[in-house]
Structure 1
Amino acid sequence: MKKRTKIIYWIATIWLSLGLVSTGIIQIFKLKTEGPGGVQNVVHLGYPDYILSLLGCWKILAVVALLLPKNPLLKEWAYAGIFFTVTGALYSHLMVGDSIGFIAPTLLYLILIVLSWYCRPSEKKLSASH
């Protein structure tokens, strides 16, 4: 693996993980924030606030799976779960007519997910033997 690719992987993965942990905590504790993932944002999109606890737990578990050594199958599931959650959020923002200011954090998450997944080291990839 090239050094550049490894650096991109770690920057994207750490930034993604920090974002997921911070929004996960906001969601688990149902904190009222103006930023992404908060109660106001989720209600604005038309979802009930009780979904926040589940989403927050999933995000924290996804970060654990991404940062644990080995377990490539678990990592694939984590990437898939994060991808589905973020694309669902992006679709929801588009459907309610949100401006780019509301959509930008979701697009950033999507870019970080793709970069982290694409640049991950071979030992973190699911091989044909799995």
Structure 2
Amino acid sequence: MTKRNKIIYWIATVWLALGMTSTGIVQLIQMKEEVDMMTLLGYPIYLLTLLGIWKILGVIAILIPKFPLLKEWAYAGFFFAMSGAVYSHIAVGDKAISLFGPVLLLILTLISWYFRPVNRKTNS
């Protein structure tokens, strides 16, 4: 892995981890704005707790050394959650600004996954 790729990986991964951790916490504590958004999107409020837990566990999975298969699952979960968020906002006709967070986290997920070091990849 080149030094450039390592820097790209860590910058994307740290920002991804911060974004997922902060949104996970907001979902776990069920901030009013988050509850309002879930209601607007038509999802049950209890889904916030599940998403918050999954995001925090996913962050732990991508940051800890080893466990490459677990990392693949975490990246997949982040991809599905963020692409689902983008689709949900579009489906209800939400304003374009509401896509910024999910699209940014989706891009960071893809960059972090693509540039991850060999020891963080599965052998398949």
TM-score after normalising by structure 2: 0.96
Structure 2 residue 50 is the aligned partner of structure 1 residue 54: yes
| Aligned equivalent of 1:120 | 116
Structure 2 residue 15 is the aligned partner of structure 1 residue 19: no
**Residues in 1 aligned to 2:45 and 2:107: alpha-carbon distance in whole angstroms:** 26
Detail structure 1 runs of 4+ shifted over 4 Å in the superposition: none
5+ unaligned residues in a row in structure 2: which ranges?
Answer: none
| Aligned equivalent of 1:67 | 63
More helix per residue: 1 or 2? 2
5+ unaligned residues in a row in structure 1: which ranges?
Answer: none
**Residues in 2 aligned to 1:7 and 1:127: alpha-carbon distance in whole angstroms:** 23
**Residues in 2 aligned to 1:3 and 1:126: alpha-carbon distance in whole angstroms:** 21
Shift of 1:98: 1.5
**Residues in 1 aligned to 2:97 and 2:85: alpha-carbon distance in whole angstroms:** 14
Shift of 1:56: 0.2
Return the match for 1:90 from 82, 86, 93. 86
- Deviation sequence 1:27-86 (CA, Å, 0-9, x none): 1111123xxxx2121111111111100000000000000001000000000000111111
Tell me how large the CA RMSD over aligned residues is: 0.8
| Aligned equivalent of 1:7 | 7
Query: Percent identity, aligned pairs only?
Result: 56
| Aligned equivalent of 1:111 | 107
Shift of 1:100: 1.6
Between the two structures, name the one with larger relative contact order (CA 8 Å, sep ≥ 6).
Answer: 2
